[in-house]
Each structure stands twice: as C-alpha cells, then as structure tokens.
Amino acid sequence: MNTLSPLFPLGIAASLALSLSSFGAEKEPPVAKKPERPQPPTRSFDAPGAPKFTRLDGAPGANAPVDVDGDFVVGPDYVPAPELKVVEGVPQGKVQQFSMDSKECKLFNPGIARDVFGTVDPTNPKTLIVETRPVDYKRTVTVYIPAQYVPGTAAPLIVTHDGPGMGRPDMNLAHVLDNLIAQRRVPAMIAIMISSGGGDAQGHERGREYDTMSGLYAEFIENEVLPLVEKNCAVKLTKDPEGRATMGTSSGGSAALIMAWYHPEWYRRVLTLSGTFVNQQWPFNPETPDGAWGFHHKLIPESAPKPIRLWMAVGERDLLNPNVMRDEMHDWVEANNRMATTLKAKGYHYQYLYCLNAGHGIGNARAQILPQALEWLWKGYPLTPAQ
C-alpha cells in the first residue's frame, strides 16, 4: 500500500521533466482544440447583497489583522510574503512522501472516472446524468514534520487537499510553517498533504471525495490515511479537535469544511481558498439537494452553531457557471459572500478576504495572504514548550 520516498530537504521545489520525441513515427492528425472558457466577469465587492467589507489601504502586501473576525478587501497588487522564503538560522523541517494504492483501501475502492462531462437531468435540473467507469489509482501523501517536533508527543496537524505528486513536493507550505513556527505565530504542527484520486467534478474520483456532502472522506482520512502517516513517518498525531485543521482550494476548500461540518469531533479549524460552496455534489442526494450550496442556503442557517473556526478567500473574477448547469447555484463569488453573511449571522468566528485582481484559486494573492491566514486560523491554540 505504501512506498516511502527519501526525505526532501527544504528548498528543492521541482523535479526534472523529460520530453520524448518519436523519430520517424507516423504523423498524427491534428486534434481539435476545445473552445476556451470565457473569462469570468469581475464582481464588485460592494455589489448589492455582498457583506459590508472593510477595505484596506490597497498598498501591496497589506493584510487583514490576525486578531479580528470580519470581511476585508485586499489587493489589487500583491507581494509574496517573506515567510515563503528559506531564512538562514530558522530550523527547517523535513518532508517525506508515501503512496497509497486504491486496491488496498477499504473506502473509495475502486475509484470512478468519466469519459464525457454529462448532461443535465431533465427530471431534476440540480444534477447531471453521468456515465462512469471503475478505475484503480494511486494517491501520494506528503508529510511535513517541523524541526521542533518531539518524538513520541502528540502533535497538532493540518490536512490539505490536492497535495503534490510523488517526487514533486511543493515546499511553499513547508517554508511558511518553518518561519511561522520559529516566530511563535503558530504551533509546531505536522502538515499532511493528500492528493486526490484523480479527475475533477461530477463523475470523477476527486469530485466524489471532495464534493460529496457526508463524512465519508473525513472517515477515510481518519481510519486509513492518518494511521499510515503515524506508522511511516514515526510521528504521533493529536486527537484534540482544536489541534486539527483542514485546508483546501476550490473543491478542496468545500471538502475542508465538509470534513469539519460532519466530524467536528475531529476538525475545528478550516481554511478555504475559492471554496466550491456551490451545487457540485454527484450523485444526487435528496437529503442535501443543493450540494455545498446548501451550507449557506440551509445547513448553517438552520443548525445550531458548531465549534468551527473558518477562514475564507475569494477572487473578484472567481468562477461563474463554468459548466452546462444553469441552476443559479454556480457563482463562486456569490457563494462565498453568502457564506460570510450566514456565518456572521450565526455568530461563528470567521475571517473573509475578497481579493481584487484575482480569479479562481486567488492567484498571486495566495503568496501574500497565506501566512496571515494560517496565523488567524490557529489563534487560541497553545504553543509547545519546544518552540
């Protein structure tokens, strides 16, 4: 099930790619290019129905304060945070990877994939008719262990979605954590970056894992991934839900909140970038007919507040109706705006950044705001003596 890779010293950010040419091969017919998706429109932060944002001074590098809740506008120009760099004298953690084979897993075995996107169900416009096929797959688990970790102690952790592939560890999060931990701005946590089962959205394994409104993916991580992390990396992970965070971009962001919503006894800190709080769940579930759009439409408004601390960001040109569904539940900006309004009304601790001059995934803004977001996320959690 798992194949351990060598440890990666921080600072190695890429692997070599080989380009092979087929000398003398028969010429392939040209492949028709898919039409380019239209650029999403710019949505104004002060449009009707948007939260009442506090606009920062607009200077490059300006971030929202780390000790307050609320709604803030950042940008339009961004400066990468200094915490993304390796700093001389700052203890550097180590990064290790291993592989999981779906054929040896209990859940999500086999995976699913589709060949075509699907068509809107004529009897239910909230979902698609999609033909899928079973697939086997391997996923990479990348683990960052801070230099301050004391073997045998139970460490806080952050689970991130859409983790890097084998042999290509993305060191940006590791660099940020090295610096924040050394500056005593966050606890000495272990970061567990998990790749998906592949594909995207309805009919693919990634969509089944990330967009399904249930506790199933959190249960897969709890019962199958985390035990392997402890075994392969010789670490111990805390069971305290206040010491467990989850983070993701796009559908990885909705997955982060879904994990905490259905299992707050495991996760209580959530960080999302361009969170897919829209109707993308598949197959259709009559108990949650609106998919993750249901968070702000029904679930949060009609439920007692849960002990979840949530940080969110969206780009002013984030996605709008990127597929064949026209159900008025596929506007990422509106979805995140509605999330902020609903969270405020229910008394949640949340911070929401509206990023000018940014699209889906928030682009260059990410490198500026990630350290601040992590510091806000972990407010109130005690630091370890080793720090």
Tell me the pTM.
Answer: 0.89
Tell me if 272 is assigned to some domain.
yes
Q: In angstroms, rounded to a whole number, what is the distance separating the alpha carbons of residues 84 and 243?
A: 23
Q: Tell me the average pLDDT across 55-83.
A: 91
Distance of alpha carbon 323 from alpha carbon 55, whole angstroms: 32
* Cα–Cα distance, 135 to 128 (Å, whole number): 20
Query: Which pLDDT belongs to residue 386?
Result: 65
Q: What is the CATH number of the domain that holds 67?
A: 3.40.50.1820
Task: Using the predicted structure, report yes or no on whether residue 15 has a pLDDT greater than 80.
Answer: no
pLDDT score of 58 more than 50: yes
Give residue 293's pLDDT: 97
Structure tokens at 151: 């073997």
In terms of pLDDT, which residue wins out, 118 or 333?
333
Q: How many domains does the chain have?
A: 1
Identify whether 214 is part of a domain.
yes
Give just the sign of the alpha carbon dihedral 81, 163, 249, 71. negative
Mean pLDDT lowest among 6-15, 165-174, 243-252, 355-364: 6-15
Q: For residue 57, what pLDDT band results from cuts at 50, 70 and 90?
A: confident
Domain membership of residue 198 (yes or no) is yes
Based on C-alpha coordinates, what's the Rg of the chain? 21
Model confidence over 137-148: pLDDT tens digits?
999 999 999 999
Report if residue 384 sits inside a domain: no
Task: Give me the domain span that covers residue 305.
Answer: 54-377
Compute the distance between CA of residue 253 and CA of residue 242 in angstroms, rounded to an integer: 19
Tell me the per-residue pLDDT of 206-253, one tens digit each, with 9 for 90 and over: 999 999 999 999 999 999 999 999 999 999 999 999 999 999 999 999
What is residue 4's predicted lDDT score, i.e. its pLDDT? 53
What is the rounded distance in angstroms from the CA atom of residue 308 to the CA atom of residue 323? 31
pLDDT at 36: 67
| pLDDT score recorded for residue 9 | 43
Query: Most distant CA pair in the chain: distance in Å?
Result: 67
**What span, in angstroms and rounded, lies between the C-alpha atoms of 177 and 332?**
28
CA dist list (Å): 345 to 268, 269, 293, 341: 19, 19, 17, 6
> Over pLDDT 70: what percentage of the chain?
89
Task: Tell me the C-alpha distance between 43 and 156, whole Å.
Answer: 37
Best CA proximity match to 333, nearest among 80, 53, 63, 117: 53
Instruction: Report the C-alpha gap between 211 and 199 in whole angstroms.
Output: 12
Using one digit for the tens of pLDDT, what is the confidence trace for 343-377? 999 999 999 999 999 999 999 999 999 999 999 99
Q: Under 8 Å CB-to-CB from 341, ≥6 apart: which residues?
A: 51, 296
Q: Residue 181 class from Cβ within 10 Å (0-12 exposed, 13-18 middle, 19+ buried)? A: buried
247: closest CA among 224, 208, 221? 221
Is 45 within the bounds of a domain? no
**What's the pLDDT tens digit per position in 293-323?**
999 999 999 999 999 999 999 999 999 986 6
- Token duo for residue 219: 């249960």
How many residues comprise the chain? 387
- Residue 29 resides in a domain: no
**Residue 150 burial (CB count, 10 A):** 12
Asked if 368 and 82 count as a contact pair (C-beta separation under 8 A), the reply is no
* Cα–Cα nearest to 265, from 244, 291, 295, 288: 244
**Residues near 217 by Cβ (< 8 Å), separated by ≥ 6?**
209, 210, 255, 258, 259
pLDDT band, residue 326 (cuts 50/70/90): confident
Assigned domain for 370 exists: yes
**Position 76 in a domain:** yes
- Over residues 245-285, the pLDDT tens digits come to 999 999 999 999 999 999 999 999 999 999 999 999 999 99
For the CA atoms of 106, 107, 113, 119, what is the dihedral angle to 10 degrees?
150
